[in-house]
Amino acid sequence: MDLFLKAKSIRLRSHSDKLLVAVEDRESIALVRDGSAKNTIWTIEFVKGKNYLRLKSCYGTYLTASSEPFLPGVTGKKVGQMLPSQCDKDAMEWQPLRDGMQVRLRSFSGEFLRPNGGLPPWRNSVTHDIPHRQKTYDKVLWDVEVVETFPLQCRLQSDSAFPRSTSVSDAIRQKQSAARLREYF
């Protein structure tokens, strides 16, 4: 838990050097290599009275563990993004278990957030599962990258409900250009 105490927002990097990302459909979770996307940033919310946290995406949805199987006949269960009104609060809570400088995130059912690879439909998918072998036990480890900015809002091209955020450098540039315009006129 101490890895998260000073962080407001983070990125989670898997063993395959891919980042956990909230997909724009506001339902799916995937893995990507490009860390510059705003939807790779997760805001941390601590659960009062428990050693759990919630990870909020830039879309206002939460990383959620489902009890539904990812594929019929396999042990991994779906992980997605949901609003608090759409699911049980326990499904949005993750228990961080530190392992050196990495962390395992355990869901309400005792299973761990797991990145998947291989051929489709496994490629770049994320499930929660119990690792049964040492090789898969190491795959549930995540690197935590603290993001030094305030939580960001994502904006879909067709969605005006999420205002575009401005950074400090954007605000300075806007003030400078306004000052130049005043000098010109």
Residue 173 lies in a domain: no
12-16 contacts, C-beta under 8 A, 24 or more apart: 12/42, 12/55, 12/105, 12/142, 12/143, 12/144, 12/145, 13/142, 13/143, 13/144, 13/145, 14/115, 14/139, 14/142, 14/143, 15/115, 15/138, 15/139, 15/141, 16/115, 16/117
Checking if the pLDDT of 151 tops 60, the result is: no
Count structural domains, the chain: 1
Residue 162 lies in a domain: no
pLDDT of residue 27: 95
Checking if the pLDDT of 25 tops 70, the result is: yes
Residue 35 lies in a domain: yes
Residue 174 lies in a domain: no
Average pLDDT over the chain reads: 82
d(CA 92, CA 105): 11
Checking if the pLDDT of 55 tops 60, the result is: yes
Q: What angle do CA 26, 10, 1 make, to 5 degrees?
A: 115
Identify the domain containing residue 101 by its residue range: 9-156
Mean pLDDT comparison of 53-62, 126-135, 137-146, highest-scoring range: 53-62
CATH number of the CATH domain containing 57:
2.80.10.50
Residue 105 lies in a domain: yes
Residue 182 lies in a domain: no
Residue 170 lies in a domain: no
pLDDT of residue 91: 94
Residue 30 lies in a domain: yes
